[in-house]
Amino acid sequence: MTTRAIPPPRRLLWLARHLMITASVCGTLLHVVILASMWSTAAAPWLAVLAVVTVSGNIALTAPGYRWFGPERAEAVRAVFNVVIHAGLGVISGWGQPAWLLLPFVTSITAAPPSQQVWARVVAIVIVFDGTALATGGRAIDAVTFTGVSLFIQLLLSAHLELTTNLLAERDRTLAELDAAQRHAVAQEKLASVGQLAAGVAHEINNPMCFVTANVADLLDELRRAPALPATLVEYRDQIIPETVDGIARVNAIVGDMRRFARSDPEPLVTFALASEIVATTRLARTQLGPGQHLHVDVDADLWLHGSPRQLDQALLNLIVNAIQALPGPGDIRVRGRAIDDDQLELTVADTGTGMGPETLARLFEPFFTTRPVGSGVGLGLAVVHGVAAAHGGRIDVDSALGAGSTFRLVLPRARRSASDGAARSR
Amino acid sequence: MLPSETVLHTTMRILLVDDEAGVLRALTRLFERRGHEVRTAASGEAALAVLDTFTPDVVVSDHKMSGMTGAVLLDAIGRRLPAARRVLLSGYAEVEGLTGVRFVAKPYVAAELLQACE
């Protein structure tokens, strides 16, 4: 997925820079105000020392501190440093209101996105600060007021950060969904254009194959009827032409699959019961099971489809044969048919076989894509399943990973049972 | 069985319609060797013209042809010659409202096609 990197807006950079400047200036100013208000007292030299220590300590713990300790620990150290210094400042200055102002100031610059750690830090600062104040002559009304302001500011910051984080997560999710939808659309378009090509090629091949098939079959008939053949023609009669007829039948089967993939053959549509089709098809497929391989079938009764039972049989058979071939030895194949809701049903074919990697998955439904050795399948099986699913107004998806088996899932629209169709078609 | 009935069953007048000459020849051979009287047409329009001079018992037509499709042709013939048996060769095409027509997949199997024409 390609996420576009969005540069931080200039306004945000401006705010960040001015926040830093304002924090430094205000912090320094608070110290100056406290120092000025107590200029003529004995505490003044101590306050001056604390002011210098505070400012230089905070500067040291920001940029260099982040480098030495990492941002997380630097902020923790800074919080401890600030609370100790400022509580001390409160004690020395006798807890005037400028000293209390340092409480929301210190809690609000705990930085970092809101987390339990940050909240623990804020609460610890408040407890130490308030505790020291109340034990050394601070007024309870100031403690309540400034603690309230501190918590309010912290909650406000947390709310804004939470909102931003959620919006970003939502944006990422939307982008991912859009990306998936786009990929799906591109894949569908590709299959549609390949389908058109396949339909065209199949039609063009089918026409000459029609008379080639008939002519070669007639020739074989004539040869078999002829009373006395030269030795060379006997070989044609017994071996060469029968092989040619087989070859022609294979070509015709491939062309037939291409037409089914391309959906160029509209068929009579009927309403039929899913269960009876599955039972018939699985009976056929069971003959291909190897030793230790089991086919489990579980289909809910009273599920009806509108479409072509012959095409659906073909799709299901292709899926089951693929599943059998994915089993390297003993294993299980599960065919499951059930209602999703009132409008849709799903038909899943799951195997415990070798599974597929991402490269195979990406090209799975392309016609003539095959993982089998040359000569043992042309790669039209799943393309046909895809075509059948689309022709029935449904879709197919697959869930697979190497070594974890595969599950193919056909989602099809449900039909309402109609008595006449149900009676007309019985197997 | 009366001799006249035997004759009716064994020799039929058949009109074959396909735009592929090779297919027409193969079909002609198939039916002529069984003693049927065959006429061919390379398009739906040509087939309708043949009807002026030839009244077939059976019409076998391809579906996908340039110009008139087989379905349209067989529909028209069905109205002109209600007694004629009509066979549409081509895929599994089912056309809305086209009744009384038999379908045979292409490439056809000779036995299946002969059965559909009987």
Q: Provide the CATH number for the domain around residue A201.
A: 1.10.287
Q: What is the per-residue pLDDT for A6?
A: 64
Counted domains in chain A: 3
In a domain, A167, yes or no: no
Please tell me whether residues A292 and A227 are part of one structural domain: no
Boundary (domain end) residue, out of A220, A244, A262: A262
In a domain, A256, yes or no: yes
Boundary (domain end) residue, out of A230, A262, A294: A262
User: Which residues in chain A touch residue B106, judged by CB atoms under 8 angstroms apart?
Assistant: 206-207, 210
Please tell me whether residues A36 and A93 are part of one structural domain: yes
Residue of B91, B92, B110 lying closest to A214 (CB–CB): B110
Counted domains in chain B: 1
pLDDT digits (tens, 9 = 90+) for B64-83: 888 898 889 999 999 999 99
Average pLDDT over residues A106-124: 74
Q: Do the Cβ atoms of B25 and A208 come within 8 Å?
A: no
- Can you point out the beta strands (E) in chain B? 13-17, 37-41, 58-62, 85-89, 101-104
Q: What is the per-residue pLDDT for B6?
A: 40
Please tell me whether residues A244 and A324 are part of one structural domain: no
Average pLDDT over residues A302-314: 84
**Would an 8 Å CB–CB cutoff place B30 in contact with chain A?**
yes
Please tell me whether residues A219 and A280 are part of one structural domain: no
Is B117 exposed, middle or buried (CB count within 10 Å of its CB: 0-12, 13-18, 19+)? buried
Please tell me whether residues A288 and A415 are part of one structural domain: yes
Q: Do the Cβ atoms of A208 and B20 come within 8 Å?
A: yes
Rg (CA), chain B: 13
Please tell me whether residues A274 and A385 are part of one structural domain: yes
CATH number at residue B99: 3.40.50.2300
In a domain, A19, yes or no: yes
In a domain, A159, yes or no: no
Q: Do the Cβ atoms of B107 and A267 come within 8 Å?
A: no
Report helix, strand or coil for A338: strand
Any long-range contacts for A83-87 (C-beta under 8 Å, 24+ apart)?
A: A83/A124, A83/A125, A83/A128, A83/A129, A84/A128, A85/A50, A85/A53, A85/A54, A85/A57, A86/A54, A86/A129, A87/A128, A87/A129, A87/A132, A87/A133
By CA distance, what is B90's nearest residue in A? A265
Residue B58 sits in which domain range?
3-117
Report the candidate in B108, B117, B115 with the shortest Cα–Cα distance to residue A212: B108
Boundary (domain end) residue, out of A108, A123, A138: A138
Cα gap A99→A33, rounded to integer Å? 9
Q: Do the Cβ atoms of B92 and A267 come within 8 Å?
A: yes
**Does the ipTM surpass 0.85?**
no
Please tell me whether residues A129 and A212 are part of one structural domain: no
pLDDT exceeds 60 at position A426: no
Cα gap A382→A371, rounded to integer Å? 12
Please tell me whether residues A276 and A379 are part of one structural domain: yes
Please tell me whether residues A288 and A405 are part of one structural domain: yes
Please tell me whether residues A234 and A197 are part of one structural domain: yes
Cα gap B12→B32, rounded to integer Å? 10
Q: What sign results for the dihedral spanned by CA atoms A323, A325, A326, A332?
A: positive
Please tell me whether residues A118 and A92 are part of one structural domain: yes
Neighbours of A4 (CB within 10 A): 6
CATH number at residue A378: 3.30.565.10
pLDDT exceeds 70 at position A270: yes
pLDDT digits (tens, 9 = 90+) for A242-251: 999 999 988 8
In a domain, A158, yes or no: no
Cα gap B14→B84, rounded to integer Å? 10
Please tell me whether residues A341 and A419 are part of one structural domain: yes
Burial A62-87 (b: 16+ CB within 10 A, else e): beebeeeeeeeebbbebbebbbebbb
Neighbours of A357 (CB within 10 A): 13
In a domain, A321, yes or no: yes
Q: What is the per-residue pLDDT for B110?
A: 86
Residue A18 sits in which domain range?
10-138
Q: What is the per-residue pLDDT for A212?
A: 94
User: Which residues in chain B touch residue A203, judged by CB atoms under 8 angstroms apart?
Assistant: 64
- Among A7-16, A83-92, A155-164, A316-325, the range scoring the smallest mean pLDDT is A7-16
Select the residue from A207, A213, A250 to test the B interface by mutation, using most B Cβ atoms within 10 A.
Answer: A207
**Would an 8 Å CB–CB cutoff place B100 in contact with chain A?**
no
In a domain, A169, yes or no: no
In a domain, A145, yes or no: no
